[in-house]
Amino acid sequence: MDTEKPVGPTHPAGEPERAFFGRRKGKRLRGEQERRLADLLPKLRVTLPPDDGPLDPRTLFPGLAAPPEAIWLEIGFGGGEHLAAQAAAHPDTGFIGAEPFVNGVVKLLAAVEARGLRNIRIRDEDVTALLARLPDACLDRVYLLYPDPWPKRRQRKRRFVSDASLVEIGRVLKDGGLFRFASDIDDYAGWTLVRAARCPVLTWTARGASDWRQPFPGWPGTRYEAKALAAGRRPTYLEFVRLPRGAGPAA
């Protein structure tokens, strides 16, 4: 994602929260994009309950014939290629995509409309507030794919992966649920592995080098990944599983 002056939600006192993303809007939207933003997004937008209570993600998909068999969350879906492909491949799964960048949202909206996807909901704001309102053990998978690496040393505190965020992801994952991370920046992959090793509720599933060099099963690829490969950067694919609750004091 392009990175200009960061914007993000604020605390009630007016102090800005740590922003994990840059600008909210890029190129000027065209007519059909503006229409989808005005007409389709409100139908798919994930809003938080006004009473500060928890949000049950199973209630977000009333248009499905039955409640979704599983719920997957993608944090920062970019142009939505991966999210749309997974939603089409798994019509009985409910998908929540979080992406504050408007131009990425309109690309996903176009795919939703063109492919008739009914199992996608969109959080077009920072995901932190959403995660905080999700109940324990409510998600089956969480994806974080090619997040902004914030490469300068002074920027690294703005990386999404932190000790706190991994504990929060572990909290919302069901036992045996998966957290999948991909990046073409070696430093960010190493940063994530160090923090995941400190997380008491997640464990890395890799058994050999091929496990982190090969894409995840059913991987459709993304536009950003194609650019990384064309530039000669090899992506890293990390998968972590949520340990069973009750196995220890930290579970």
Catalytic residues: 148
Distance separating alpha carbons of residues 3 and 6, to the nearest angstrom: 7
Structure tokens at 70: 């599983």
Rg (CA), the chain: 18
Strand order in the sheet with 139-145: 120-123, 93-98, 70-75, 139-145, 173-183, 236-242, 202-204
Burial of 11: CB neighbours in 10 Å, binned 0-12, 13-18, 19+? exposed
Q: Three-class SS of residue 44?
A: helix
